Structure 1
Amino acid sequence: MNATTKDKPEVQWVQIDEEAVGQRLDNFLFTLLKGVPKTRIYRIVRKGEVRVNKGRVEAKYRLQLNDTIRIPPIRVAERSEQMLIQPRLKSSLENQIIYEDEGFLVLNKPAGFPVHGGSGVSSGVIEALRQIRPDSRFLELVHRLDKETSGCLLVAKKRSILKYLHELFRGDGVEKTYMALLAGQWRRKKQVVDAPLLKNILKSGERMVVVSNKGKPAQTSFVRLRKFADATLVHASPKTGRTHQIRVHAAWLGHPIVGDDRYGDAETNKIFRSRGYKRLFLHAEQLRFLHPVSGELMQFNATLPQELQNLLDHEQTI
C-alpha cells in the first residue's frame, strides 16, 4: 500500500528527560521520526537544521538532561496503513499479555512470527506492537526468540528499564526455562551440556550454528519431564544466550527437537508431520528476575500453545 504523509509539518521542540539521557542524537531521532530515511536524518543534522540548545551538534552527540532539540518541519511516513497485521498476531498482542506495568511488559509470543522485521521480512512482533499502541513513546525488545519459538517475550517501555534488563540478560540475572520435545527416548534424567558454539553464514545467507572449540562458550541444562514412545519432554535452561543454542545442544545430545527443520532429524519430523504436527516444539515457558524498580523476584509463565498441548495429550507415555 502507498504510505500517506502528515499534512503541514511544523517545527518540533523536544526537551530531553531522564529516559533519553546518554543516548546518541541520531539514534534518538531514528526512534522519534519513524518512517524517515536515515540518510535524510543525517542530512538535516549535518546541515544544522537540527539544533540542540540553539546550537549545531554532530550526530554522535550524547543527549543531556533538559537539552532542548529543535527538529525542522519534516514529513513522516505513516506506517499504520503500510503494515497489515495478521489476525493471529494481533490477537496475541492484544489478549496474550502476561504482565504489564509502567516499565515493561511480557507477552506470550505465538510461533510463526519473527520478533522484528529484517532479512526480507517487512515487520515482526515489535513493529506490530508499536502499530497497535501508537501512543507508546518507547517500545523495544529486551531479548529475542526464534520465529518458530513461542512463549515469554520481554518488551521494555522505558530506556532506563531496557538498560537494566539488558544487564541482567548479559549476566546471570535472568533464569530462562524452555519446554522442548526431543526426538527419541532420552534415558538420562538430567544433563548439563557445556559445548562452545560457532555461528556460520552459508552462501545462501542462512545461519547455521555448530559445536566447535573455536566458538563461544555455551551451557544448557536439560531435565527430563516425561518419556513417550518416540520422544522425550524436557525442560531446557540456557545459562548463556547464543543463537539457536538449545536447538544445537539438543542435536548434540543425539536427540534434536521435534519439528526442527534446520538441526533436526528428517525422518522423525516426517513421522510427526504425518500426525498433523508441523512446528518446532520449543516454548519459552518461564522467565524469572528481580523487578527493576521494586527488587521483588518476578516469575512469568507462558501457557503452552494448544497445538503443542494437543500433541502431548495424544502421545503414548512410557
Structure 2
Amino acid sequence: MSAPAKTEITPQKSASISVLPADRVTYVEIGEDAAGQRLDNYLVRVAKGVPKSHIYRVVRQGEVRVNRKRAKAELKLETGDVLRIPPMRVSQRPVTQAPAAPFAEGAIPVLYEDRHLLVVNKPAGIAAHGGSGISYGLIERLRATHPDEPMLELCHRLDKETSGAIVIAKTRKALVRMHDLMKAGGVEKHYFTLVKGDWVNERQHVRLPLERYLLASGERRVRVSAEGMKAHSIFTQLERFGAVTFLDVELKTGRTHQIRVHACASGHPLVGDDKYGDFEFNKAVAQGTLGMPFKRMFLHAARLAFEHPVSGEALDIRAPLPPECEGLLAALRRSR
C-alpha cells in the first residue's frame, strides 16, 4: 500500500488578512506590510477580540510557530516568514474598547520629520506601544493623531518610564533599513541619567552579559549572568553632587533594561528606578530630599546620531531634558 500523500499548505499573504478565522489553524506568509513587526504586536492586530493574555499564552506554549519553530513574543518578523497560528477563542464579552485618542497639539514634540522618518521626544509615563495590560501606547496614539499617514511603525522602543528621542518609520523602506542599521551598530545612542551615590570614574566601560527571566507573576526582568547576551555601556561623568551623579551613557548594545541593570550592578542604581533601584532612597527622593519632589525614573534618551536610512544624510538628533529633570538638576546645583 502506498503512503498517503502529504497535504500541501499554501499560506495566505499577510497583506490579505485583517481578521483571523477562529475555527481553524491559519498559515500566513509575512510580506513587506508586516515585516519588522514584533510577533505579539502582529497577532494582537489580526486576532480581533482575542484577549491579549490568551495570545501571549499560546505563544509561550509554542502553539504559534514561525518557520516551523517555536518563537518568542518579541521576535521581529521578516519577509517570507511563515506563521502557524492556532484557532484562538474570542472573548465572550463584546469588545467595546474606545479607539486610541490623538495627542493634543504640541503634546509630543517633533525632533525631526521627513517623508520617511518621524522622531519625537517621548514623555515618561507613556509606553512605546500597547501590550499586556496597556490598551494604547505612543505608536497607537500617533496613528490616531496622523490619520492620513499610511504607515507609522516603531524602529525601536523605550521603556514606559524613559523619556526622550524615539524613531518612527513612515515607509517600509525606512523601517527595514533602520532595523539593519541598528543591528549593525550604526546608530550612536546617548542617554542622560541620575544615579544614586558618587560615581568616581570620569569614564567607565561596563561589559556585563545580561539575561532576561520571568518573575512568578509573569513580569519580565533582566539580570547579570554568564549565560546572558553580551552588553556594553559607557558611563561618562557629567556632574557630581555627592548624594547623586549626573551621567551620560552611550549604549554600544541595545539589551532590555541595559542601563538600569549595568548601573545597579556597578553599585549606583538609577534615581526613581522602581524595578532595580533603591526603593527607600526613591521614596525619599519623591518626597523632596534632593531639593524638590521627583517622582519618576531619571533616564532620558538624549541623542541619536546615524545616517538617514534612505537619503544617507548624517543626522544628529538631540532631545532636550523634560522640565522635571531640568528642575531637579537646577535644585541640586543650587544646593551644591
Q: In the alignment, what sits opposite 1:253?
A: 266
The answer (yes or no) to whether the contact 2:264–2:270 under 8 Å persists in 1 is: yes
2:20 is aligned with 1:38? yes
TM-score of the superposed pair, with normalisation by structure 2: 0.72
How large is the RMSD of aligned CA atoms in angstroms?
2.6
Q: CA deviation at 1:91?
A: 4.6
2:109 is aligned with 1:96? yes
The answer (yes or no) to whether the contact 2:264–2:277 under 8 Å persists in 1 is: yes
Q: CA deviation at 1:278?
A: 0.7
2:28 is aligned with 1:59? yes
Q: CA deviation at 1:59?
A: 3.4
Secondary structure, aligned partner of 1:129: helix
The answer for unaligned runs of 5 or more in structure 1 is 1-23, 47-57, 65-75
Q: In the alignment, what sits opposite 1:83?
A: 99
Q: In the alignment, what sits opposite 1:145?
A: 158
Q: CA deviation at 1:120?
A: 1.1
2:174 is aligned with 1:187? no
From the superposition, tell whether residues 254 and 133 of structure 1 become closer, same or farther in structure 2 (CA, over 3 Å): same
Q: In the alignment, what sits opposite 2:332?
A: 315
The answer (yes or no) to whether the contact 1:92–1:110 under 8 Å persists in 2 is: no
The answer (yes or no) to whether the contact 2:123–2:162 under 8 Å persists in 1 is: yes
The answer (yes or no) to whether the contact 1:195–1:211 under 8 Å persists in 2 is: yes
From the superposition, tell whether residues 61 and 142 of structure 1 become closer, same or farther in structure 2 (CA, over 3 Å): closer
Q: In the alignment, what sits opposite 1:288?
A: 305
Q: What CA distance in whole angstroms lies between the structure 2 residues aligned with 1:84 and 1:173? A: 33
Q: CA deviation at 1:61?
A: 7.0
2:306 is aligned with 1:306? no
What amino acid is the match of 1:28?
A
2:247 is aligned with 1:278? no
Q: In the alignment, what sits opposite 2:15?
A: 28
The answer (yes or no) to whether the contact 1:92–1:109 under 8 Å persists in 2 is: no
The answer for unaligned runs of 5 or more in structure 2 is 1-10, 34-47, 50-94
Q: What CA distance in whole angstroms lies between the structure 2 residues aligned with 1:191 and 1:80? A: 51
2:183 is aligned with 1:167? no
Q: CA deviation at 1:206?
A: 1.2
Q: Count how many residue pairs are aligned between Structure 1 and Structure 2.
A: 262
Q: CA deviation at 1:60?
A: 1.8
Q: What CA distance in whole angstroms lies between the structure 2 residues aligned with 1:235 and 1:292? A: 26
Q: In the alignment, what sits opposite 1:222?
A: 235
TM-score of the superposed pair, with normalisation by structure 1: 0.76
What amino acid is the match of 1:38?
L
Q: What CA distance in whole angstroms lies between the structure 1 residues aligned with 2:277 and 2:32? A: 48
From the superposition, tell whether residues 270 and 230 of structure 1 become closer, same or farther in structure 2 (CA, over 3 Å): same
Q: What CA distance in whole angstroms lies between the structure 2 residues aligned with 1:162 and 1:312? A: 36
The answer (yes or no) to whether the contact 2:32–2:172 under 8 Å persists in 1 is: no
**Residue by residue, what CA displacement relative to the aligned partner does 1:229-271 show, whole Å, maximum 9, x if unpaired?**
3100000111111110000000011001000011111222122
Q: CA deviation at 1:151?
A: 0.2
The answer (yes or no) to whether the contact 2:191–2:299 under 8 Å persists in 1 is: yes
**Residue by residue, what CA displacement relative to the aligned partner does 1:178-228 show, whole Å, maximum 9, x if unpaired?**
000010111110101000001011110111110000000000000000001
Q: In the alignment, what sits opposite 1:51?
A: none
2:123 is aligned with 1:106? no
From the superposition, tell whether residues 229 and 29 of structure 1 become closer, same or farther in structure 2 (CA, over 3 Å): farther
1:206-217 equivalences under 5 Å are 206-217=219-230
Q: What CA distance in whole angstroms lies between the structure 2 residues aligned with 1:312 and 1:61? A: 48
The answer (yes or no) to whether the contact 1:80–1:131 under 8 Å persists in 2 is: no
From the superposition, tell whether residues 62 and 206 of structure 1 become closer, same or farther in structure 2 (CA, over 3 Å): closer
Q: What CA distance in whole angstroms lies between the structure 2 residues aligned with 1:84 and 1:291? A: 30
Which 4+ stretches in 1 moved above 2 angstroms?
24-30, 37-40, 61-64, 83-86, 89-93
